[in-house]
Amino acid sequence: MADENVRIDPWSSTQSTDYARIRDQFGLSELPLHRIPEPSMLHRRGIIFAHREFDTILNAIARGEPFGVLTGLMPSGKMHLGHTLVIEQIRWLQSMGADVTITVADLESLATRGTSLDEGRRVALDEYVANYPALGLDPDRTSVYFQSRRPIVQRLGFVLGEKTNRSTMESIYGFDGSTNLAHVQAPLVQAGDILHPQLEEHGGLRPIVVPVGIDQDPHIRFTRDLAASSNWFNINRRKKGGLTIALSIQHGNHTCFGVEANGRVNMQVRRQFFDRLVGRLNHDGWSDMIPNPKHGTVEIPAATEQTGQHLRHSLLKFERELGGLGLLPPASTYHRFAVGLTGDKMSSSNPETTIFLDDEDKAVIKKIRAAFSGGRETVEEHRRYGGDTDKDIAFQYLATFFEPDDKILADIGKSYREGTMLSGELKQHCIDSALEWLRDFRERRDSTEGVAQMMLADDAQ
Ligand code: TRP
């Protein structure tokens, strides 16, 4: 039934936490943990719980090929623990060889929260970017830009806007007649953000992964669809086995694909183009091919899903030589929503729900002491029945942020569930680990003072 479906809306304040269901409903894949080299605790503990086409990134890592990561932040409020989840993933991807681009979504913030561009800039630099070196990002390989100052992301958004329409945006984002037009443009700019690192002047064709919270999946789907509909060559499964390449006729390729102004196909031009296409595929090592210039298809019976990746790459390069954009759909990974200390959603507008990176120890201790507990009503009951680590926020925070050692975490979990560890003891452990984490962070912040400036792209200075 429709209303049983989880609706994911990037701007809503409600959230679902049934992750297996979210994965199924949105056609996401489960993270292939066995393929991930040196998995971080976020991988190991299922906090990153789903992906789209992350395999392309794992392949690039395995082969030592270039790949990039792009993600973005909304410059509003202060940086809190929840925001560190994405940064930790970027750190890991960077350690695996990724180049890193981070967008400050100042246009989106203007459109959806009324934050002025000046205010957005100040907040982004002081509250977020300043912390990145201390959180482990390498300033030499991290590039931060502002949406408002990078015309190419706006231009790309505009150009790709031709590939979608109002109904699509209404059904994905729930927009209606009263939605302000800046808000309508925000997803197009975000698509521009996500796709522009593939352009020649920003690093060229290579897989890009976008680590985000699950609330951002509508943007990922939207962007993947836009990229696919801009492609000049579609690759489809062939009914009798193998793959079929099909021309996608669109503005910009009529002349080269031999389509005349009246829509008729000029077979001479079309055949010449097919000779070029087939010659190129030959050069790539494909031999057994069935070209059909009239239908605009080339069947390759021997191609598989695996070898299809090379095929896709090669056709995108060809498209670029012919004047097209040649865009790969982005890969993505999704992390769980960080639960608020109170058991509600974590949000900077409700300071009791989270720990800010500049909170003083006193405040941290107070917040964790007051955190939602998975313990029993009385000590006696707790000793007998044990606590619930799935509900206990102190335990969740150890698992998500503060306790890197799997063995220690497992031992704590076990004693808590068995009732030998009481809620107060678990909270004390969480407090100790949180304070140590913050002390460490502050030290690194002091020693990396001013370093974040190096992360600003030229157009962000
Ligand atoms: N919409 C994102 C948010 O609400 C911010 C953002 C803008 C973003 N552009 C992006 C995230 C590109 C990932 C990739 O936080």
Question: What pLDDT, in 10s, does the model give residues 421-454?
Answer: 999 999 999 999 999 999 999 999 999 999 999 9
Atom number of ligand 1 nearest to Cα 74: 15
Taking 90 as the threshold, does the pLDDT of residue 126 lie above it? yes
> Does position 14 have pLDDT exceeding 60, yes or no?
no
Tell me: the pLDDT tens digits for 238-267?
999 999 999 999 999 999 999 999 999 999
Q: Is the pLDDT of residue 285 over 70?
A: yes
Mean pLDDT of 54-60: 97
Q: How far is the CA of 104 from the centre of ligand 1 (A)?
A: 8
Which residue's CA is the closest to the ligand 1 atom numbered 6?
A: 72
Q: 223 C-alpha vs ligand 1 centroid, how far in Å?
A: 12
Measure the CA–CA gap between 38 and 51, rounded to whole angstroms.
Answer: 18
Sign of the torsion formed by the C-alpha atoms of 129, 135, 139 and 140: negative
Residue 18 confidence class, pLDDT cut points 50, 70, 90 = confident
- What pLDDT digit, counting tens, does each position of 198-239 carry? 999 999 999 999 999 999 999 999 999 999 999 999 999 999
Q: Is the pLDDT of residue 401 over 50?
A: yes
Q: What is the mean pLDDT of residues 58-83?
A: 96
Mean pLDDT of 45-61: 96
- Give the Cβ contact number of residue 5 at 10 Å: 11
- Ligand 1 contacts (CB < 6 A) are 10, 70-74, 103, 105, 108, 190, 193-194, 210, 212, 216
Q: Give the Å distance between the CA of 38 and the centre of ligand 1.
A: 27
- Percentage, residues of the chain above pLDDT 70: 97
Q: Tell me, what's the pLDDT at 5?
A: 64
Arithmetic mean of pLDDT over the chain: 95
**For ligand 1, mutation pick of 156, 210, 212 (most atoms within 8 Å of CB):** 212
> Across the beta sheet with 243-247, what order do the strands follow?
233-237, 243-247, 297-300, 290-292
Mutate to test the pocket of ligand 1, among 70, 190, 333, 334 (most ligand atoms within 8 A of CB): 190
Ligand 1 centroid, distance to 73 Cα (angstroms)? 6
Whether residue 2 is predicted with pLDDT greater than 60 in this model: the reply is no
Please tell me the pTM assigned to this model: 0.94
Predicted local confidence at residue 16, as pLDDT: 64
Centroid of ligand 1 to alpha carbon of 306 (angstroms): 31
Place of tokens 């030998």: 420
Q: What pLDDT digit, counting tens, does each position of 304-346 carry? A: 988 899 999 999 999 999 999 999 999 999 999 888 999 988 9
| Angle CA 182–186–192, to nearest 5 | 135
Whether 150 has a pLDDT exceeding 60, the answer reads yes
Is residue 12 very low, low, confident or very high in pLDDT (cuts 50, 70, 90)? low
The answer to whether residues 436 and 430 touch, using CB atoms and an 8 Å cutoff, is no
pLDDT above 90 covers a percentage of the chain that reads 92
Position with higher pLDDT, 319 vs 20: 319
Q: What DSSP designation does 458 have? A: G
Please choose from 74, 144, 145 the residue to mutate so as to test ligand 1's pocket, defined by most ligand atoms within 8 A of CB: 74
Give dist(CA 109, CA 183) in Å, integer.
9
Taking the CA of residue 70 as reference, the ligand 1 atom at the shortest distance is 14
15-29 burial, b at 16+ Cβ within 10 Å, e below that, comes to beeebeebbeebebe
- Which pLDDT band holds residue 395 (cuts at 50, 70, 90)? very high
Q: How far apart are the CA of 127 and the centre of ligand 1, in A?
A: 17
- At 20, is the pLDDT very low, low, confident or very high (cuts 50, 70, 90)? confident
Contact (CB, 8 A) for 316 and 328: yes
The residue type at 160: L
Rounded to the nearest whole angstrom, what is the distance from the C-alpha of residue 71 to the centroid of ligand 1?
Answer: 6
Which of 15, 103, 144, 198 should be mutated for ligand 1, with most atoms under 8 A from CB? 103
Q: Which two three-digit tokens encode residue 100?
A: 């890193």
